[in-house]
Amino acid sequence: MRNQLEENEPELVIMGKPPDDIEVDAKAFMSNPLDTVASSEHLLVKETNIALSRFAVEHFAVRETGSGTLGTIERFFAEHDVPFHTV
């Protein structure tokens, strides 16, 4: 897809986040909420209104390096100055 975008081959693409180094006109058309998923035995399951800072000590199983989901999560944590750890 990256090569096609560089050559202006596709007329319309749906993707999570366009590359920063390729000039495209991108418009969000839907929200994409992400949820945490935990074992029913995890301590946080019983809590509500969990502060993001609480996740700083947790280790998450995540998508592969380079995935849009992982990039979104990493940016979100960085924007809020919260460390993000993976297993």
Highest mean pLDDT among 6-15, 45-54, 64-73: 45-54
pLDDT band at 84 (very low <50, low <70, confident <90, very high): very high
pTM above 0.85, yes or no: no
- Cα gap 85→87, rounded to integer Å: 7
| Helix residue ranges, H only, the chain | 2-6, 68-79
pLDDT at 35: 83
pLDDT at 5: 81
Q: Where are the domains of the chain?
A: 2-86
pLDDT at 64: 82
- Helix (H) / strand (E) element for 85: namely strand 85-86
- Please write the tens of the pLDDT for every residue from 24-65: 888 877 787 788 888 888 899 988 899 999 999 999 998 788
pLDDT at 9: 82
